[in-house]
Amino acid sequence: MNNFKYVHLLVISFLLGTATQAAPTENASPFLNAIDLSPTYPKWQTFTITHQEWYVILGTYLQNKKGYRTANALSNKLIKRGYEVIVGESDFYDGLKEGLVVVMMGPFYSQRRASTKRNALKHIVRDAYIRQITYQGD
């Protein structure tokens, strides 16, 4: 019964990302005691992956009070219609002019999917366009 409790704890801990904190008990089987739970992460794995993705740009506004207000109004309008939108600052995206508040949808992993979404939104946002950009993070 103790082995079952340990395996159950090990599975739950592993699923929660804390498997390295679990320690075998004295009553555990030799097999479970032989499992090495220590993490082995090479130092070269600490990098940020960035790649270009397609976005539907629904509106761009200056980063001022009026710009944020207008961007939020557009995003709220689209959210009420059931669309998921992003309101972000262009400074965090390569491929967009800096200093803007951007209302967009995405990412889409192909130009075709982004175009399809843009075409579906043309009746709401006439000036929508697609752009391939890279999110750089905070």
Domain boundaries, the chain: 2-43, 53-135
Q: Indicate whether 60 pLDDT > 60.
A: yes
The larger pLDDT score, comparing residue 44 to residue 135, is at 135
Chain centroid offset of residue 65 CA: 27
Q: Mean pLDDT across the stretch 107-126?
A: 94
SS3 content of the chain, % helix, strand, coil (to 5): 40, 25, 40
How does residue 77 score in pLDDT terms, banded at 50, 70 and 90? very high
At 26, the amino acid letter reads: E
CATH number of 53-135: 3.30.70.1070
The span from the CA of 35 to the CA of 53, in Å, is 41
